[in-house]
Chain A
Amino acid sequence: MTINRARARRLSLALFPALLGLSCALAGSLASAQSPTPGGEVPSMLALSLSEPGPLKRVGNARGGGAFATTIRVEATATDVPSRLSLADGDSGPGVRRGYLGRSRSILSTPLEASADGGPLRSLADPVPAPLRTWRVPTAGAPARIRVVQKASSARAVRNRNKLLLVTLTAGGP
């Protein structure tokens, strides 16, 4: 009986992942059988990872001008629940108005707004920053996308202004 060599090679290639998976499963079950009951202590912690936001880009029209937006990618880790993600104004000093994009004493007429993962837009001018996202279970590197939006008359109006935003992760409430 002769077997086509190419067919045999194809067959072995098809069977290889299945054999690999089986051996991994066997190794895993052996390891779990040898080690004691899995588990351990997880230290209570809070961690945040951020991406650098890009420049504000025109995304649509708004009354009396356009809407400009940028995105911040966040990864949150929290062992205590509920954990809340919010955005606050980090600038301080004379001439700074909370939540407004500005340069020295010249500020825009509308405040910055933010939303996370397609949620509602919240003004950054509020005294108590509204949570953009809440996790009710412990998280490890949970991703979120914060969208910061500024309505302005022109691209030139937002180009030369700046703002420091504090991406805030709060654990467990008071």
Chain B
Amino acid sequence: MRLPRTPRAAIATALLAATALLAASPAQAQRGGLSVTPGILEAAARPGGFGAVKIANTTAKPMKVRLAVRPWRQARNGSVAPNRRKVMGKVRPNRGGFRLAAGASRSVGLRLARVPKRRSLYGAIEVTGAPLRRGGKGIKVAYRLVTSLRLFPPARARRFKARPKRLFVKGRARRGALFLAVKNAGNTIDPIGARVTITGRGRTVRNEVAPQTILPGATVNLRLARLRGTLSPGRYRLGVRLTQAGRKVAGFRRGVRLR
């Protein structure tokens, strides 16, 4: 029996596509990776066990897994990364390192040894997974999953406080930006925003700064306004009202000179 030319070609193409799909899907599933649950661990800052993280190795090879709780390091532009030179001594995992077989998973409990002075603690749970046979020449890769640890203060001990620091201009009036360094002097990570009023030379410009998360004790440069030539060079009066969790936490008036 001879099939017409066009349907035969269609069937052949469909069969080829199906074979390719079948061949591709197991390869993708076998590749697997490393996973951590939960992505953000939140609890009240009380001494004792407060939770656990579950680590799973879904690759086809065993892995050497390390878990460390580290403080965050925040850059002036607001970006954060775990400080790999330090560990948070107050938070202790059940096990710091272990071998995880292919397809296996393991839960690691976390315990707060002592409540810090601030009554809150924010850190990074860093899980690193490297294949057992490392070394060799060239570039090798390992997995690192960073989840967030948030140990909140009790409701009555929450402090919302921001401290404005240096005010500075980057660039010029035609093209630049106005920045204010702000320190979070409280003990929460509620984002800090600002309302800005710039007055002078017969004009008033208002701006609302998008709230930004600043770690307790850290300082971040908030961009108060973008300068695009709307304000001519000269002296201006600047009014700033810093807000956190819907309340005013600091305010000041200062003079600023744009060039």
Chain A residues near B (Cβ < 8 Å): 6, 9-10, 13-14, 43-53, 55-56, 70, 72, 75, 77-80, 86, 88, 90, 101, 127-131, 148, 159-174
Beyond contacts A46-B37, A79-B39: 11 other A-B pairs, Cβ-Cβ < 8 A, are A10-B4, A45-B35, A49-B32, A49-B58, A53-B140, A70-B139, A160-B137, A166-B144, A172-B39, A174-B72, A174-B122
- When the two chains form their complex, are residues B148 and A172 in contact, meaning their CB atoms are under 8 A apart? yes
Q: What B residues does A75 contact at CB under 8 A?
A: 33
Give chain A nearest CB distance to B73 CB in angstroms. Answer: 6
By beta carbon, the residue of chain A nearest B131 is A52
In the bound complex, how far is the Cα of B38 from the Cα of A116, in angstroms?
26
Could you say which residues of chain A place their CB within 8 Å of the CB of B37? 43-46
Top-10 shortest CB links A-B: A49-B33, A47-B35, A44-B38, A80-B39, A166-B144, A171-B39, A170-B146, A13-B7, A44-B39, A168-B144
Query: A165 and B140 in contact (CB under 8 A), knowing A9-B4, A80-B40?
Result: yes
Contacts known (A48-B33, A48-B34); A171 close to B40, Cβ less than 8 A? yes
Chain B residues contacting A77 (CB-CB under 8 Å) are: 35
Are A162 and B140 closer than 8 Å at their CB atoms? yes
Of the A-B pairs whose beta carbons lie under 8 Å apart in the complex, a sample of 11, sorted by A's number, is: A9-B3, A44-B40, A45-B36, A47-B35, A52-B141, A101-B139, A128-B73, A162-B136, A168-B146, A169-B145, A171-B40
- Does B143 contact A167, Cβ atoms closer than 8 Å? yes
B187 within 8 A of A: no
CA A174 – CA B135 in complex, angstroms? Answer: 33
Provide the bound-state CA to CA distance between A50 and B145, in Å: 12
Which residues of B from 162 to 206 have beta carbons under 8 Å from A?
189
Query: 1/0 per residue B28-67: CB within 8 Å of A?
Result: 0001111111111000000000000000001000000000
A-B contact count (CB 8 A): 147
Chain A neighbourhood of B142, CB < 8 A = 90, 164-167
Closest chain A residue to B4 by CB distance? Answer: A10
Q: Looking at the assembled complex, report how far the CB atom of A129 sits from the nearest CB atom of chain B, in whole angstroms.
A: 6
Given contacts A46-B35, A48-B33, contact A167 B138 (CB under 8 A): no
The residue in B36, B74, B84, B138 that gathers the most chain A C-beta atoms within 10 A of its C-beta is B138
Q: Which residues of A contact B12 (CB under 8 A)?
A: none
In the complex the two chains form, is B80's CB within 8 Å of A173's CB?
A: yes
Shortest CB-to-CB span from B40 to chain A, Å, is 5
Known A55-B138, A163-B139: A169·B73 in contact at CB below 8 Å: no
Give Cα A159–Cα B137 distance, bound, in whole angstroms.
7
